[in-house]
């Protein structure tokens, strides 16, 4: 599954980085402490966070993420959008809680272990 398919499936709004929508999604991660995310997020994941600060783009590049999803209707900072465009990191927005979106994505197979 790629970022675009997830975006369409959950009607996420693309705030930046539309050039990166073809990226393959290999898993997911939730976290708002960037030090934790830098240490633990899996490569190729979609990352669900409420942090809109520009540092999220650097963290996404570092962990080679597929996309960042801002949850809870949190807006990205203007600098975040600029940096995401430069790095082609999709910044998507979701109006409700990370819990709900993570659960629905997991049920769809994102980040779940392969069957058998």
Partner 1 sequence: MLLREFKADLHVHTCLSPCADWEMSPRKIIRACRAAGLGLIAVCDHNSAENAGAVMSVGRRHGLAVLPGMEICSREEVHVLAVFGELEQALTMQEMVYAHLPGENRPEVFGHQIVATEADDVLAQNPRLLIGATALSLADIVRATHALKGLSLAAHVDRPTNGLIQQLGFIPQDLNLDGVEVSHRISPAAAQSALPAIGNLPCLTFSDAHVLSDIGRAHTGFLLEAATFEELCLALKTTRGRRVLA
Q: Do residues 80 and 53 lie in contact, with contact meaning Cβ atoms separated by under 8 Å?
A: yes
Please report whether residue 1 would count as binding partner 1 according to CB under 8 A.
no
Which residues does residue 49 pair with via DSSP β-bridges, in sequence order? 70
Q: Do residues 77 and 52 lie in contact, with contact meaning Cβ atoms separated by under 8 Å?
A: yes
Count of residues engaged in binding partner 1, rule: CB under 8 A: 13
CA-CA distance, 21 to 12, in Å (whole number)? 12
Please report whether residue 61 would count as binding partner 1 according to CB under 8 A.
no
Q: x-or-dash pattern for partner 1, window 80-99, by CB under 8 A? A: --------------------
Interface with partner 1 (CB under 8 A):
33-35, 37-38, 51, 53-55, 58-59, 77, 79
């Amino acid at each position: 599954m790629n970022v675009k398919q997830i975006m369409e499936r959950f009607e996420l709004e693309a705030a930046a980085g539309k050039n990166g929508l073809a990226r393959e999604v290999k898993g997911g991660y939730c976290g708002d402490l960037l030090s934790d995310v830098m240490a633990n997020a899996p490569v190729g994941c979609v990352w669900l966070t409420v942090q809109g600060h520009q540092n999220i783009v650097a963290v996404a590049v570092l962990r080679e993420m597929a996309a960042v999803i801002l949850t809870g209707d949190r807006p990205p900072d203007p600098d975040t959008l600029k940096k995401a465009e430069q790095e082609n990191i999709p910044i998507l927005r979701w109006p409700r809680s990370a819990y709900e979106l993570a659960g629905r994505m997991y049920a769809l197979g994102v980040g779940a272990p392969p069957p058998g």
